[in-house]
A = this chain, B = another copy of it.
Amino acid sequence: MIVVMKKSATEEIIQSVATRIESLGLKAHVIVGTERTVIAAIGEKRDGEAETLSGLDEVDKVVPILAPYKVASLETKEEPTTVRSHDLVMGGGHVGVIAGPCSVENESQILESARAVKAAGATGLRGGAFKPRTSPYSFQGLKEEGLKLLAAARDETGLAVVTEVMTPQHVDLVSRYADVLQIGARNMQNYHLLQAVGESDKPVLLKRGPSAAMDEFLLAAEYILDQGNPNVVLCERGVRTFETHTRFTLPLATVPFLKERTHLPIVIDPSHGTGIATLVPPMAAAAIAAECDGLIIEVHPNPSEALSDGAQSLTPEQFSDTMNRCRAIATAIGRSI
């Protein structure tokens, strides 16, 4: 890393910083500029030395050179990771589409949803059984009963079930029914939960936190990978900005940016990313054009009756049209859904 000294730093202080750097097992290389001195610390690791050094007297700033993540990095593994479950395949040129309602509400709703999204070409089924809700007074999901309904829908349709797990104690329970464990945006930095799914043998769909920087997102994945679970899918679902006309701001540049840094597949959630049903189809199409590895889209047989997220859910017909549009684009750029 590069340690930039303040202009006022004396030679003695510069020397003491260099000594401190060497005490961390690094090699200090002092470069005297015309107005400032900087010290290159060679042999940088990834464990918080930068933070320590930035607290030293007369240090202006510390600039890390290495990315802080390892296992997720393209520098560690060059070939793209492909995550599979049943017919759902994401990564390595395959675009997987996961669709279904925000919450599992009852048997007919989830079965009807599953049949519809399967017919339109989805290979994964989403649906919340344990629902993190902003208010304690909102519908919190059907819990295990919801998981059973999801499993039944998979058994009928063959769709891989993707559903959220909210707390470490539930990982075993959810794993009994689900095919892919989803970590919600609110839990992106719930490290005990990340470690728990890291010990699971199920693939994990990790949603980006609404104000997570890219390094934080990849380090959250690293918590899972570090426990031995290699099947992590990164999901961009929009970030919180000053914009209020959409529920979140959906930065599709996340896709090509991450592809230059990680081998993990990247999925886009245009439903949460916009919060408005009419904006979902064009943003789904745009995500395909940006070469994402998958989509996760909310579809409900009757959005205006939905117990949650009705405003951003597509009808089965709208979803089918969206799939057609996405397929046409994928074909045009040599990818397949």
Contact = CB atoms under 8 A, between A and B. Distances in A.
Interface in A285-306: 285-291, 303-306
A52 B278 contact: no
Interface string A137-154: 111000000000000000
A106 interface: no
Given A211-B240, A242-B242, A33 B38 contact: no
Given A189-B132, A211-B210, A304-B56, A31 B29 contact: yes
Max chain B C-beta neighbours (<10 A), residue from A68, A138, A332: A332
Contacts of A43: 33-34
Nearest to A60: B65
A17 B153 CA distance: 32
A243 B332 contact: no
Contacts of A329: 289, 329, 332-333
Contacts of A250: 251-253
A282 B273 contact: no
12 contacts: A38-B40, A51-B311, A52-B305, A55-B306, A134-B189, A167-B190, A213-B243, A214-B245, A246-B257, A253-B279, A260-B278, A286-B290
A93 to B, nearest CB: 15
A313 B33 contact: no
A44 interface: yes
Given A40-B40, A46-B135, A136-B219, A279 B257 contact: yes
A214 B56 CA distance: 23
A163 interface: no
B223 A136 contact: yes
Contacts of A241: 239, 241-242, 249, 251
A136 B242 contact: no
Max chain B C-beta neighbours (<10 A), residue from A54, A167, A331: A167
Contacts of A243: 213-214, 239, 251
Interface in A207-261: 210-211, 213-216, 219, 222-223, 226, 239-246, 249-253, 255-257, 260
Given A249-B251, A289-B289, A304-B56, A191 B219 contact: no
A327 to B, nearest CB: 9
A200 to B, nearest CB: 16
Contacts of A166: 190-192
Contacts of A244: 213, 244
Nearest to A68: B135
A43 to B, nearest CB: 5
A282 B255 contact: yes
Nearest to A47: B137
A142 to B, nearest CB: 16
A307 interface: yes
A240 B226 CA distance: 27
A35 interface: yes
Contacts of A190: 166-167, 186-187, 190
A120 interface: no
Interface string A3-34: 01001000000000000100000000101111
